[in-house]
Amino acid sequence: MVKENKVQTVSVPIEVAQEYVSKLLGFAPLQLSDDLYNVIITHLGQMIDEFGEKLLDKFSSKFTTEKIQSLTYYLKEKLEDRLIDMFDSFDIFLVSKVLYLNPSVVLKDDELQLSYSEKYDKAIDDRIITYTNRISVLKSCLTETEQEAAKINSIIHNLKNMKNNVKQTLENVYGVKSVDELCASVYERNNSISRLYTALNNINLSNVNFLSICPPPKKKRKHKNNQESIVMCYKLICEKYWLSHSRIGYCPKKLGICKVAAC
């Protein structure tokens, strides 16, 4: 036959429940709750009165003084009812969760009523050892955390120095203050080159006037002998002569004949 252990719950008034903790604290938790309630209800009542005065000043032509007073009285009544309900719940929370003593806590006046046993003493010693070990682990974790924090601070310091060096380099070399400005400058330069390249592609390169205005760039070459230089000069003279005296000119080039179109 199995016997069920039933836990009996005894309900006591909240005023009785606060008596034991009141001895320890020197004041009653419910008295603290009442003081808070009085302060809050007083300030809220003043706010409602000021609100009524503002309404009366602004809408005196629409509302009479009696209506404004009736409104403020109604607001105070509803507010008081709401606060009473809230503080009833607050009283229970304050006594049972905040200002609450564990059943194992014994006040100094009641210490003579306790009877200790060896088993209870051993349990206390074991608990002390457990908490001591936990504190040691926490201290070691704290030390490692401080070391990691020091490393992170060092990395942050190095990053700040690198940032300052990069900024100084950008100002000295490129004349800009940030990477964004440098990217914008490069982007604008690329766009300018692209526009120039497009404009050159759209120009008719066969125009004689264009060729005379914009001659091809001269390249420095090292000639192996005087004979090669003479041949190159002869080819250049032929090309200029035929371009200036005929619409379509012919010039000898290597073994074949190069046809140069002129507009």
What is the SS3 assignment for 64-125? CHHHHHHHHHHHHHHHHHHHHHHHHHHHHHHHHHHCCCCCCCCCHHHHHHCCCCHHHHHHHH
Share of the chain above pLDDT 70, in %: 64
Of the pLDDT bands very low, low, confident and very high (cuts 50, 70, 90), residue 233 is low
Percent of the chain with pLDDT over 90: 8
For the chain, the structural domain boundaries read 14-114, 126-202, 204-261
Which pLDDT band holds residue 135 (cuts at 50, 70, 90)?
very high
Structure confidence at residue 155 (pLDDT): 92
Ramachandran quadrant class, 15 (left: phi over 0; alpha: psi -120 to 50; beta: rest): alpha
Quickly tell me which residue has 């990069």 as its tokens: 166
pLDDT surpassing 50 at residue 42: yes
For 199-230, the pLDDT digits (tens) are: 777 765 555 454 444 555 555 555 445 555 55
Neighbours of 144 (CB within 10 A): 10
For the segment 27-40, what is each residue's pLDDT rounded down to a tens digit?
A: 788 888 888 999 99
DSSP for 161-187, written as a single string: HHHHHHHHHIIIIIS-SSHHHHHHHHH
Q: Which of 72-86, 126-140, 156-170, 239-253 has the lowest mean pLDDT?
A: 239-253
Q: Do 20 and 107 touch, CB atoms closer than 8 A?
A: yes
What does the pLDDT look like over 17-28, one tens digit per residue?
Answer: 677 777 777 778
Q: Could you read off the pLDDT of 143-200 as tens digits, one per residue?
A: 888 888 899 999 999 998 888 888 888 788 877 777 788 788 888 888 888 888 787 7
What are the φ/ψ torsions at residue 118 (nearest 5 degrees)? -65, -35
- Average pLDDT on 98-106 reads 72
What single letter denotes the amino acid at residue 130?
Answer: T
Per-residue pLDDT band for 242 (boundaries 50, 70, 90) equals very low
Tokens 């002569």 belong to 241
Nearest Cα to Cα of residue 19 among 29, 9, 10, 11: 29
Number of other CB atoms surrounding residue 33 within 10 Å = 21
Q: Is the pLDDT of residue 139 over 50?
A: yes
Per-residue model confidence (pLDDT) at position 130: 92
pLDDT value at residue 253: 43
Tell me what pLDDT residue 131 has.
92
First to last CA, the chain: 122
Place of tokens 């004949």: 257
Helix (H) or strand (E) holding 257: strand 256-261
For residues 93-122, average pLDDT: 71
Mean pLDDT of the chain: 73
